[in-house]
Structure 1
Amino acid sequence: MATDAAYRATAGGPLDVDRAFYDALSGATESRELVDRFTIPVRSGRAWEVPAGHLCRLVTVEGPQVGDLNVWNLHDPRERLWASRTRQLQRAHVSTYDRLWSTLPFLRPLLTVTGDTLAGYGRDAEGGRVHDLLGTRCDPYVNRMLTGEDFDFHCHSNLVRAVLPYGLTEFDVHDVLNVFQCTGLNENDQYFMKACPARPGDHFEFFAELDLLCALSTCPGGDLSVPLWGPDARDPLDVCHPIGVEVYRVDPGLLSGWSPPERAAYRNVHGMTSPAWGDGKR
């Protein structure tokens, strides 16, 4: 018997997505206006802005490639993707109509997924699914621990370099959405990665609920068909490909009735009493 999800939607609540609204955004491809397009080369990273009410599409332009995505509120980077809470509120592998949620004390959707050409992949024979929030970015610290070697182009490092022009640092880089990545848990409840099933032209598209700063790393593991660690590890450069990014302005008429989500309503300071400064005493 299936076990019910712990976090469930109430009718009309923030987990109860207006699918017709997002379907209209996704389907109106002829009326959208391209405002930004670029390609992120292999083993690198880039940051970019997506204004609220715009669509952003990530594309495997040449072949299968995993991308590690970070997302912040453009105007306050303390508000950023909360991967673990998104796993609870949505699921561990996201697709169309799922939302990526922000950290406390904000707790609101940063974006909503509107398009996913890999949605039909489902769950494979080993339990693998795509677009995961289970794992996080590869990084040079773990690599040094496992191999004794330094490598400066892990996803963590790529993201660190990408956000520097926005005044952010390594401390702002956070747990990622692994776009196009196929992962799961094995019989020992251990995280595994499989070869990316994406093909040229596959895409993952989302709607910006707030003004966003996004950053993406083209993983140095490429399509993850080659082991990165362990006795069979080898350099997977041959299976690395770029990822394209496209940002679109949508027909304003499609946004009628939509507004950016408000931050969480809780304001009770966790049962603590705020000091009164009006008596002139410090």
Structure 2
Amino acid sequence: MNQITQTDPADAILIPARRGVAAYVQAGQTVTVINTHGSQVVDTWAYNAKDMGEFMSMEHTRAAILTLLPKEGDVFTTNKRQPILTVVEDTTPGIHDTLIAACDCHRYRQLGAVGYHDNCTDNLHQALEAIALESTATPSPLNLFMNVPVENDGTLSFLPPVSKPGQFISLRAEQDIVIVLSACPQDMVPVNNMIPTEAHFKIR
């Protein structure tokens, strides 16, 4: 693991608390996602900019990298088994989630929410709509900074992130992509330490 460093969000793009943002990224550019306050999960999707039917797939990536916890040098792959993002730097303790589906209205209803609750599934589609794109499905996201430990008996639990304010992960685009980032609004289990906040990102 790298020595802990921080990056200044002052010149970065805001991911508003409980909302999502989409952006175009060219092959070779790097997306740096900053956990501004240290306690925020950022659901992350990437699509082939030329074919929205091809997208980053956690299922296919796990088969390629043979681990649940991506580390520097690991390559995320698409549902067509092509490289799409590579981890080039990670100043966090390296705890990210590749298992859990994006939160949605059904999840919050099961948790006891009354009325509408912001959710990452809607954030994905609204962010794409804002740049005149559409995804017919909701792929399972890369949940950056999300802490879902797998116990020896196979059980899972939801815990607060272990990253510190300002820590970040940088991902290099291996093709022209559309990236979508959602500052997860989950406040009914402790994945955001029960207090969803903003996050930031940079494209270089």
TM-score by length of 2: 0.85
- The equivalent of 2:201 in structure 1 is 245
* Higher Cα radius of gyration: 1
Aligned equivalents of 1:110, 1:226: Cα separation in 2: 26
Residues in 2 aligned to 1:148 and 1:115: alpha-carbon distance in whole angstroms: 37
**CA-to-aligned-CA distance 1:130-157 (integer Å, 9 cap, x gap):** 1111112111122223426333411111
- Name the structure 2 match of 1:274: none
TM superposition shift of 1:226:
6.7
Aligned to 1:262: none
Question: Quick one: structure 1 residues 183 and 102, their matched pair in 2 at CA, closer, same or farther if it must change by over 3 Å?
Answer: same
Q: Does 1:134 align with 2:99?
A: yes
CA distance in 2, matches of 1:80, 1:52: 15
RCO (CA 8 Å, sep 6+): is it higher in 1 or 2? 2
- Which of 58, 71, 87 aligns to 1:95? It is 71
Superposed displacement of residue 175, structure 1: 0.6
- Report what 2:51 is aligned to: 76
Deviation at 1:63, TM superposition (A): 3.0
Question: What percent of counterpart residues are identical?
Answer: 27
Q: CA 1:175/1:51 → structure 2, altered by over 3 Å: closer, same or farther? A: same
Which residue identity does 1:208 align to in structure 2?
A: A
Please state if 1:42 is matched with 2:17.
yes
Q: How many residues align?
A: 193
Give the letter aligned to residue 77 of structure 2.
W
User: Are the equivalent residues in 2 in contact too, given 1:137–1:175 (CA < 8 A)?
Assistant: yes
SS in 2 for 1:89: helix
Pairs within 5 Å for 1:1-282? 37-90=12-65, 91-104=67-80, 107-118=81-92, 121=93, 130-147=95-112, 149-169=114-134, 171-186=136-151, 188-221=153-186, 225=190, 236=194, 239-248=195-204
Distance change >3 Å, CA 191–CA 150, structure 1 → 2: farther
CA-to-partner distance for each residue in 1:85-126, whole Å, 9 max, x for gaps? 11121121112111110113xx210011000012xx36xxxx
Q: Are residues 227 and 172 of structure 1, via their aligned partners in 2, closer, same or farther at CA, if it must alter by over 3 Å?
A: closer
TM-score (norm: length of structure 1): 0.63
After TM superposition, give the deviation of residue 198 of structure 1 in Å: 1.3
Q: Which runs of 5+ in 1 are unaligned?
A: 1-35, 123-129, 229-235, 249-282
Q: Is the 8 A contact 2:161 2:191 kept in 1?
A: no
